Amino acid sequence: MAKLEDIVRRQKTGATFVISAQMLQMTPRDFDALAQVWDDEGGPGFNVAGVPFRVVVEGEFLISRVTVVRTTAEV
């Protein structure tokens, strides 16, 4: 996922930033599945900070945006 790596790589270690479904050009359903893994295990070079933002799609609450903190200098 080159676009995600580019977004993370631009941030300094310790920086707080947002990653959204729209930024990665993903549907909320696809992003939700990925964001749940990040929330449980951390992402490539970052950890989820706080409560993910959710939207309602067809009666389901899906994660559409997460605030993250850059953890490492390498992605």
Which tens digits make up the pLDDT trace of 17-65?
999 999 999 999 999 999 999 999 999 999 999 899 999 999 999 999 9
Residue 59 lies in a domain: yes
Count: domains in the chain = 1
Residue 5 lies in a domain: no
Residue 75 has pLDDT above 80, yes or no: no
Q: What pTM does this model have?
A: 0.89
In DSSP notation, the chain reads -HHHHHHHHTSPTT-EEEEETTTTT--HHHHHHHHHHHHHH-BTTEEE-SPPEEEEETTEEEEEEEEEEE--S--
Residue 7 lies in a domain: no
Residue 46 lies in a domain: yes
What pLDDT is recorded for position 58? 95
Residue 2 lies in a domain: no
Q: What's the domain range around 57?
A: 12-70
Residue 54 lies in a domain: yes
Residue 4 lies in a domain: no
